[in-house]
Structure 1
Amino acid sequence: MEKDSRPKWDNPTQFLLACVSYAIGLGNVWRFPYLCQMHGGGGFLIPYLLMLFLEGLPLFCLELGIGQKMRQGSVGTFSSINPYLGGVGLASVMTSLYLCLYYNIINAWSFWYLFNSFQSVLPWAECPINTNRTGPVEECERSSPTQYFFFRETLDISSSIEVNGGVHTGQALCLLLAWVITYLFVVKGVKSTGKVVYFTATFPYFVLVIYLIRGVTLHGAANGIKYMFTPKLEQLANPTTWINAATQIFFSLGLGFGSLIAFASYNEYNNNFERQAIAVSLINSGTSIFASIVTFAIYGFKRCVCVTRLLLLNTFDIAEDNITLDTALDWVRELNMTYPEKFAEIADQLQTCDLEKELDTAVEGTGLAFIVYSEAITNMPLSQLWSVLYFFMLLMLGMGSMLGNITGVITPLRDFKFFSKMSNELLNGIVCLFCFLLGLGFSTPSGNYWFTMFNDYGASFSLLFIVFFESIAIVYIYGMKRFEKDMEDMVGHRPNWYWKIMWKVVSPLLLLVVITFYIVGYIQGGTPTYHAWKKELGKTVVTEYPIFGQAFIGLLLASSISCLPIMALYVFCRKRRHGRRDKRQQTVMSVSM
């Protein structure tokens, strides 16, 4: 490897923003708020912040440090530490590849919703008319307009993973657009990526601030925010709360994918990665909390609008069709002026808006991002504007994370001699085209079930093993004293007691605990399940994966983890073969002499 010829970031700010754009993704918006709700609101912040300093921050800093020192991708980095450890880097590449295959379909959905937001009436605001023009589509009536638009119009979902069909043309085109933009973002390597992150890392905050300002002014928002910051301390005695806090920190920072090592490899040798690791980790956690405030404000608004509508219908003699979620607050003002005494009887209930029922049905993932939020948006004035802002923000979060995901694949490939001869345009184009073609499978009727499988098993459990072996490789094989000296050369001082204790003892032990809980959970969980959409019921039903699905899950779990022993065995056999060849050559030379 030629160190002097390696591309570099134009300045430290580009690297910082690249890490922020990569780490702050959709999980900050659609998973952290769900975990807060599930584990007692503000009480979840206690284990979450503890795990940030015990696990997330130390491991984040460790990856940046080794990447900046070795100035290679993940495969080259761990092969340099010890040839037998090349499988650690290869496992990172495999996991990043799995993530690239399915992650851009989320961006395709964001494009789909964004394009559909430019309509006089949002298409998920009301049920479409059936083909006979006699009433709404039955599937929509059984569910809701937002669920119907997501499951039928967006996904055209099948009844199970075993039922499939052709590619959804609209989704395929949106996926193509997402990959074209991804390619343009990385076409020149860090030279183009460094320019893009100025926008992808900052624009989501602009939208979140706007949403916060709007959210806190909505009816019932204060109740939602109050619920979030009211801790249920009894949840601290629940081990699951601590495990979920540890895994959320772990996954939200993007550890184990090789992307952070790749980003850091383009730094100047004396760049202060320690300061940047602290900054990115705190920004990431702060963003999760900030996004949760917005989400709980939306929950509060959504719950209060529903409660208001039901109270008005039950108290006043009004036809049910006359009061909709859109007009409920207008009816409040009118009825308050027309029937002040009768209205006073229900005023206290309107102010309370108990959130327990709403939060009992709260969801994470795509359900929160594309169903709950879109439903709340339809109840806001100027709903088209809020829809455009929201889905463009989701798109920027997704595209920003894709920059890191694809870099985690491309950078290690470029460190191989065969790929190093290719131009950036060619290599990046081949990788993007390959991922797009395989990703088309996620735009079929059963694609969402495969998406769920990849999301649950392709890039989750294996990462824990990868990062555990990363920490062992750096601290105990490369050597703590050696890394301390490297850090002194790069940032001007040796690591303090906090870093040493975390790297040598606390963080690896925490990883072992989390891995153990994951394994126990898988064993006790029985047959893996997924949520299949049943149009005749208008809801999802928990369904067991078929035999081929279970086999594929096993393949996903084993394929990346098995890179470690397979690569070590390959190196061992190669060294043994070379040793025999050298021995034969020495024998021939001695005979000829």
Structure 2
Amino acid sequence: MSRRSGEESLGKIEMRSGCEESLSRRASRKASRQLSNKSFRGRPATPDYLPLDLPLTLCVSQNDEPIASLGGLTPTKESRVAALRRRSSMARERWATKMEFLLAVIGYAVDLGNIWRFPSVCYKHGGGAFLIPYLVMLLVGGLPMFYMELVMGQFHRAGCISIWRKICPLFKGIGYGICFICTFIACFYNAIIAHAVYFVFSSIALEVPWKSCNNSWNTPLCSDDVNVSMSKTGQRLSSPSEEYYLYNVLESQKSTGFDDLGGVKPSMALCLALVFTLVYFALWKGPQSSGKVTFTYPGNVGMVDNGR
């Protein structure tokens, strides 16, 4: 039995060596055939090597068309999938520190709307009872989707449009929709920020203009007394700060209704242009510039609020 098994193993080794020899012969024949074809076409049999100091560029084929050779060197054909993988592996800009990323995320999640709008919405819809469905939806839908958005962006290191080319190109319309939503929000949200900027410049004066009712925009219903809300005739009184915002900042007394948009107020237009300029310079270098802005923004806002 041992002799028979030894003969079988020797036969297998001989067959394997024969296969390897046949494969090597085929490869050598193919190489010699290619060299003969090149020499027959008038090309040199040996390839022209480029100097080592010249970079080698990979040509990406968008379709099945052949790629022309460059300087006697046949470029490597790279598929679209390989090109996307190579581009995704390139180094992208990163946050300088974890604290900058954390403050940027906090600024994205907790903005002016949470501080200014949420208390009034909570009071309007039942007070404490409103917090129960709010917390449930926050834990079930809000936080998971917010975390998923952060994880997808950090993992793929791509924007809201290019990331769908890696996940599913069919859903790239979601990325365009996100850009449209951000543009739409910037149109009205920056207007609210422009009001805040206007208040900041107005507070630079020694005496703030919303301190008293002795101004040109005040009405007879303006009252400096904070403990009185109704007049003797039963009409509702208004505070100086309320009338300053309605009649000086918004100039709502000049509007005849919702269909009357009114004119452009030069001071508010300058504040709005300043807001868009600040946003541009905060984002033009990516995380390097936006991280510094979000890192110092809470302290600057706190100084302004505590100072005035």
The alpha-carbon distance between structure 1 residues 8 and 32, as it changes in their structure 2 partners (threshold 3 A), is: same
Shift in alpha-carbon separation, 1:35–1:67, aligned structure 2, 3 A: same
The one-letter code matched in structure 2 to 1:108 is A
What is residue 511 of structure 1 aligned with on the other side?
Answer: none
For residue 177 of structure 1, what is the aligned residue in structure 2?
Answer: 274
Q: Deviation digits for residues 469-506 of structure 1, max 9, x if unmatched?
A: xxxxxxxxxxxxxxxxxxxxxxxxxxxxxxxxxxxxxx
Kindly state the Cα deviation for residue 98 of structure 1 after the two structures are TM-superposed.
Answer: 0.7
Structure-1 separation of matches of 2:292 and 2:299:
12
Q: Cα offset for 1:14?
A: 1.9
Verify: 1:152 aligned to 2:68, yes or no. Answer: no
State the distance in 2 between where 1:11 and 1:104 align. Answer: 28
**Candidates 201, 213, 217, aligned match of 1:115:** 201
Q: 2:292 — aligned with what?
A: 195
Q: Which residue of 1 aligns with 2:94?
A: 8
Q: Which amino acid aligns with 1:173?
A: L
Alignment partners' CA distance in 2, 1:14 and 1:58 = 22
Asked if 2 retains the 8 angstrom alpha-carbon contact of 1:7 and 1:190, the reply is: yes
1:59 correspondence with 2:59: no
Q: Write the distance in 2 (CA, Å) between the matches of 1:137 and 1:49.
A: 42
Provide the TM-score with structure 2 as the length reference. 0.59
Q: 1:44 to 1:164 in 2, by over 3 A?
A: closer
- 2:175 matches 1:80: no
Q: TM-score, with normalisation over the residues of structure 1? A: 0.32
Residue 92 of structure 1: CA displacement? Answer: 0.6
- Residues 1:30 and 1:121: Cα distance change in structure 2 (over 3 Å): same
Whole-angstrom distance in 1 between the partners of 2:112 and 2:92: 31
1:102 equivalent to 2:197? Answer no
Cα pair distance change 1:143/1:47, threshold 3 Å? same
Q: With CA pairs under 8 Å and 6+ residues apart, which has the higher RCO, 1 or 2?
A: 1
Partner residue in 1 for 2:305: 389
**Contact 2:88–2:157 (CA<8 Å) still a contact in 1?**
no
Q: Which amino acid aligns with 2:249?
A: T
Tell me, in whole angstroms, the C-alpha distance in 1 between the residues paired with 2:216 and 2:105.
48
Cα separation, 2, equivalents of 1:129 and 1:21: 37
Residue deviations 1:331-372, cap 9 Å, x none? xxxxxxxxxxxxxxxxxxxxxxxxxxxxxxxxxxxxxxxxxx
Equivalence for 1:162 = 259
Contact 1:104 1:179 in 2 (8 A): yes
Query: What is the alpha-carbon distance in structure 2 between the residues aligned to residue 143 and residue 55 of structure 1?
Result: 43
> What RMSD over aligned residues (CA atoms) do the two structures have, in Å?
2.8
The Cα shift of 1:4 comes to 2.0
In 2, the alpha carbon distance for the partners of 1:49 and 1:202 equals 29
Change (3 A) 1:391 1:182: farther
Cα 1:100–1:21 shift into 2, 3 Å:
same
Deviations 1:383-405 (A, max 9, x none): xxxxx51799xxxxxxxxxxxxx
Give me the identity figure in percent. Answer: 35
Letter in 2 for 1:174: C
Q: Which has the larger radius of gyration?
A: 2
Where do 5+ consecutive residues of structure 2 fail to align?
1-86, 224-235
In structure 1, what residue type is equivalent to 2:305? Answer: L
Any residues of structure 2 matched to 1:172-571 within 5 Å, and which? 172-201=269-298, 388-389=304-305
Contact 1:186–1:192 (CA under 8 A) maintained in structure 2: yes
1:79-133 Cα shifts (integer Å, max 9, x gaps): 33222211111111000011112221112111111222233443223334559xx
Correspondence for 1:30 = 116
User: Are 1:156 and 1:168, in contact at CA under 8 Å, matched by a contact in 2?
Assistant: no
How far is the alpha carbon of 1:42 from its aligned partner? 3.3
Residue 390 to residue 114, structure 1, CA distance change in 2 (3 Å): farther
Aligned CA distance change for structure 1 residues 81 and 39 (closer, same or farther; 3 Å): same
In 2, the alpha carbon distance for the partners of 1:146 and 1:202 equals 25
Aligned CA distance change for structure 1 residues 130 and 82 (closer, same or farther; 3 Å): closer
- What secondary structure, in the 3-state scheme, does the structure 1 residue paired with 2:152 have? helix
- Asked if structure 2 preserves the Cα contact closer than 8 Å seen for 1:111 and 1:174, the reply is yes
Pair 159,146 (structure 1): closer, same or farther in 2 beyond 3 Å: farther
1:92 and 2:178 are equivalent in the alignment: yes
For residue 46 of structure 1, what is the aligned residue in structure 2? 132
Name stretches of at least 5 consecutive residues in structure 1 with no aligned partner.
208-387, 393-593
CA distance in 1, matches of 2:307, 2:244: 15
Task: Supply the distance in 2 between the matched residues of 1:389 and 1:202 (Cα, whole angstroms).
Answer: 10
Distance 2:102 2:202 in 1: 34
Q: How far has the Cα of 1:201 moved from its partner?
A: 4.5
Q: Secondary structure of 2:128's partner?
A: helix
Give the letter aligned to residue 87 of structure 1: G
Determine the structure 2 residue equivalent to 1:360. none
Match of 1:574 in 2: none
